[in-house]
Amino acid sequence: MKEIWKPGNMLYPIPAVLVSTRGVDGKDNLFTVAWTGTICTNPPMVYISVRKSRFSYKALHQTGVFAINLTTEKLARATDYCGVVSGSSHDKWKECHLTKEEAKEIPVSLVAESPVNIECRITEEKELGSHVCMMARVLSVHADADLIDLNGAFRLEAAHPIVYSHGTYFSLGKRIGKFGFAVKKRSRDKR
């Protein structure tokens, strides 16, 4: 039997990412975003949803660029910290001992410790109530070369990524199948 709850966002787990910004004053900041995801494959587009009251909203709105930095078990503390303290009074980069890498396409620092950094340019802002949805085009993706196997496949699971669900961070579990495994014929079926 299931309970009926009031309407809410129950689409969990979701990624918890570090978003990096640089204000027009040149100040770098990081903040944690869980309302993020893919919009489109071609052209490659993503979104983040941010409250207008967040310190980084002004930088996002004024510059129109940001980077998504995927998080890992090693980055869990920094991910949480950057979500609960404000960049208006904290240097999160310094306090979390994170290394800045300059992006290639946009004037934003990337988190060097992140296995994947995604450079983005905002194409549209849409006010949706508590959050502003910022839809963005992906300009460049940086992937840690140590996570690319001998066949050229990217193995994000080797970085031990984390996800977020109802106020809790989780590491990802074991691999259970690759896209299409449900319909792929077994080798003995090919006879």
Domain containing 39: what range? 14-190
User: Average pLDDT of the chain?
Assistant: 92
pTM here is 0.91
Lowest mean pLDDT among 38-42, 43-47, 60-64, 165-169: 165-169
Q: Can you point out the beta strands (E) in 34-161? A: 36-40, 45-50, 65-69, 100-102, 109-111, 116-127, 132-143
Residue 177 lies in a domain: yes
Residue 73 lies in a domain: yes
Residue 7 lies in a domain: no
Residue 104 lies in a domain: yes
Instruction: Indicate the length of the chain as a whole number.
Output: 191
pLDDT band at 190 (very low <50, low <70, confident <90, very high): low
The H-assigned helical ranges of 4-75 are 55-63
CATH classification of the domain holding 80: 2.30.110.10
Specify the residue for token string 């978003």. Answer: 19
Residue 1 lies in a domain: no
Q: Over the stretch 16-49, which tens digit does the pLDDT of each residue have?
A: 999 999 999 999 999 999 999 999 999 999 999 9
pLDDT reading at 191 higher than 80: no
d(CA 162, CA 173): 10
What's the number of domains the chain is made of?
1
User: How crowded is residue 108: how many other Cβ atoms within 10 Å of its Cβ?
Assistant: 22
